[in-house]
Amino acid sequence: MRRYLKKFALLALQPFGPTFSLFVGVFCFQGLSLPWPDEEKMPQPKVKLVVTGDDFGYCERRNQGIVDCFKTGGISNVSLLVNAVSAEHAAELAKRNHIPIGLHANLSEGLPVSQDLKGSTLLNKDGFFHGKMGFREVLQCGQLKMSEVEAELRAQVNRFCELVGHVPYHMDGHQHVHVLPEVREVFAQVLSDFGITYTRVPIEPGLKFCTFLPPHLRDFNEQVEKDALESIEVFHRYGIRWPDIYLGLSTMGKNMSVPNLKRAFGFTLEASLDDGVTSSLIQSSDAATDSYRPVTAELMVHPGYPSQPHQGGCGEGPDDFSQSADRLHELNTLRDPFVLNYYRQQRIHLCAFKDF
């Protein structure tokens, strides 16, 4: 197991600073919600954590729940679905509440943004995307045209700029489509062309040992991690960056709890630190200017007030995931006062990608 963890850490950790040496015991959880009483005396953070609320724009209820979570310190960042029915509502809420925002690129659910995709290989006979698994099946059969993938991704970035007023601070893929074979190369090219620096690499330390997950979810997550590992070389080549550590596959829905979040964060830092990750992973340009940088991490979450039937979605109505009570469960867990106090106690700093 130690050999596996070392291999993971070396592949998955993306450098942001010079040599760091931290002890596992202090890293059982991550985040920060409230300012310290005296900012000048605030201890140096041990971790910079982005907690990203995905699917912003899906419906007005999900949007409001995500905003409420941000206001209470449960999340620090959002990822916008620009083809969702409430994307404009979400963009206005982000502006009004000064919420850091990126693009949740969608190639698998609902209607496309591009107006030039009639009869496209991206769409089924009804004009909708093929779905989470359908997209993967069509791709595997070699039936997707990457030129159409590129056109849709560019259309979504442009739509984001129209809604929000600036280029996304980061860009990831709805249902992890951005790390799929062939797609990842096009995705990286689009990010590079628009100057979008950060993305998500969904590789979670210890995930293979999460036996509490149902078999079908374990199988899906295993494939996501395989695709993500193979994306690292591509993203490096285009100069795209990502946090040192990713979490979220094992803490979704009912599996989000304080103990499980602690388990995930503890395993993550034990895997990366106890196996001797050193400055060989660190960019010399950062090392020249700073003597210390905290570990950077992203926690992917899906909070919100559940969608009502026939309200929301990306053109086909809301799915079961968005209508589930799990969305409210995540919202309440993330803003739990015990969790927020724990962030402060552990000197964990909640931030956005633009703060790295």
Backbone angles phi, psi at 138, to 5 degrees: -65, -40
Token representation of residue 218: 């374990």
The helix (H) or strand (E) run that includes residue 321 is: helix 320-323
**Is 54 part of the annotated catalytic residue set?**
yes
Beta strands per DSSP E along the chain: 47-56, 77-80, 101-105, 171-173, 245-247, 295-301, 348-350
What is the b/e burial string over 10-39, where b = at least 16 CB atoms within 10 angstroms of the residue's CB? eebbbbbbbebeeeeeebbbbbbbeeeeee
Q: What is the DSSP string of 60-128?
A: HHHHHHHHHHHHTTS-SEEEE-TTSTTHHHHHHHHHHHT--EEEEE-SSSS--S-SS-TT-TTB-TTSS
Q: Is 9 helix (H, G, I), strand (E, B) or coil?
A: helix
Beta strands per DSSP E along 273-351: 295-301, 348-350
Q: CA neighbours within 13 Å on the CB side: how many for 296?
A: 24
Question: Which member of 38, 54, 193, 227 is catalytic?
Answer: 54
Which residues are tagged catalytic? 54
